Structure 1
């Protein structure tokens, strides 16, 4: 392995190990504000996404993140405080609650009148397949869009509604239809983090290297969103790992700036150029160099007995 690649991957592994260690001893909860409507996204928001990552992954809100479990030390302390070993015995004696029976899904509401363009686009967001089907059966265009040229396929891709996306494509929806920011459904599927939609669009002939107005590819978007599985899929399907956006930056520049360590390692192993300069003359390696000092300082400050307390 090339010495530069070896050095970078080892440094990333060290950073990942440090993050995992810190996560073991801290619980985190994530709250999300109400996300903006799709139609509200504009060029400044795309610029902000590039700098700080994607804040809102879907119209209905950000997916829940796995909660960090309590450490064994905290658990043992909690048991002692509420009654020690006897408490465990009492817990074992308590009958287990029966699992609640899964309620049958409500029947889709019957649609009597015609479906308007606005209702059709809302149906794509909300996953209302019957309403979308009614619109299409009545002769509505699958490429119907709003004032920002966002189609139902854009919206369904962002939300991960695979069945609606399949129906739209079967009815002739343009797979690489561009909105006002030149984003396609593939960009929106990557932004929403929906691998199944990405695969569906790819199967229907979507361009994996298509660029939006910032010259960002789906790989750029998936990197900024932190969607490791989508990045891996795109790289395994031969996308250009060194494609540059409007500022001359590759996905590796984005990954380094946003501390996407797993993605950084993946990109490097798939041939991303660590010495590629952006318009400001900076390479990903220039940014990685900053980690070396930062990581070393953090590791040196770790107290040897800080990770575990006696029971």
Structure 2
């Protein structure tokens, strides 16, 4: 394996381990009731103000918590039970209504039903001659919403009824973008089987790979890479998916992209490469380790 790849993966693993360790430290400190302050300005006037503000925030939260407890006596419990009973009645009523043939399903109900996975409502709208490409004010269609929520069966139904697989919302996002944003692997595969292009771009020139990377869906990223997506595609800021993954600390995705052959030397609009971003990671990791050593000496780590 190339030395640069070995170096990056080693830094990624170390950074991920350090972040995990830092989260455990913070959780332990909270459990012990220790106020953890990470700002380097502690001890200065600015640092003291920061500490005082955090203490004030904690005190305010505690005050609100006590008020809620004080006001949450028997009356609130009774009211809560009454609300739960009403909600149960509403659910029962809605189930009863579903047994009665619906007279009409409007466009808004149709799009909402697609997002909620209500196949019978979607079918009713389409059977009555409704336009499968009906969209909301943001030009999001039922196909977009179903893809986002991973309702693969509804995606199939809509496509069977001639829903436009390339319909663009206001940001030129297609259904594949929405599937990747939601981490909806099943819906994504249906769209691909029906001919969706996984290399399409939105108005910001983001590809589905950019979207899946930013939202942290590593399984979708892995699938897209296996399907041969353009791994080095740049968005409007010149960032590749690898730039995004490093910037957002998506450790697993960074490794997936690098091992799949992502170019670490591509410069974005600011002239920065992913390799330079990782070097900054390495520098930050060193600083964090030094800070942890200092905290260990006083029993906080």
Mark the runs of 5 or more structure 1 residues left unpaired by the alignment.
Answer: 29-103
Distance 1:282 1:305, change over 3 A: closer
Q: Is 2:28 the partner of 1:16?
A: no
Distance across 1 between alignment mates of 2:123 and 2:19: 47
TM value normalised by structure 2: 0.71
1:6 aligns with 6
Distance across 1 between alignment mates of 2:161 and 2:27: 47
SS at match of 2:232: coil
1:56-111 deviation line (CA, Å, top 9, x unaligned): xxxxxxxxxxxxxxxxxxxxxxxxxxxxxxxxxxxxxxxxxxxxxxxx99577134
1:211 aligns with 201
TM value normalised by structure 1: 0.69
Q: Is 2:125 the partner of 1:135?
A: yes
Could you tell me how far 1:223 is from its partner in structure 2?
A: 0.6
1:197 aligns with 187
Higher-RCO chain (CA-CA 8 Å, sequence separation at least 6): 1
Could you tell me how far 1:168 is from its partner in structure 2?
A: 0.7
After TM superposition, the structure 1 stretch with the greater mean CA deviation from structure 2, 169-178 or 105-114, is: 105-114
1:181 aligns with 171
Distance across 2 between alignment mates of 1:145 and 1:12: 42
Could you tell me how far 1:222 is from its partner in structure 2?
A: 0.5
After TM superposition, the structure 1 stretch with the greater mean CA deviation from structure 2, 215-224 or 177-186, is: 177-186
1:2-25 deviation line (CA, Å, top 9, x unaligned): 121111111001112222333445
The counterpart of 1:291, out of the listed 269, 274, 281, is: 281
SS at match of 1:214: coil
Distance across 2 between alignment mates of 1:6 and 1:139: 58
The counterpart of 1:117, out of the listed 107, 115, 119, is: 107
Distance across 2 between alignment mates of 1:213 and 1:156: 22
The counterpart of 1:281, out of the listed 271, 276, 279, is: 271
1:70 aligns with none
Distance across 1 between alignment mates of 2:150 and 2:101: 24
Counterpart mapping for 1:1-311 below 5 A: 1-27=1-27, 106=95, 109=98, 110-303=100-293
Distance across 2 between alignment mates of 1:20 and 1:204: 41
Mark the runs of 5 or more structure 2 residues left unpaired by the alignment.
Answer: 29-91
Distance across 1 between alignment mates of 2:101 and 2:138: 27
Aligned residues: 234
Contact preservation (8 Å) 1:111, 1:131 = no
Distance 1:301 1:107, change over 3 A: same
Distance across 2 between alignment mates of 1:302 and 1:147: 50
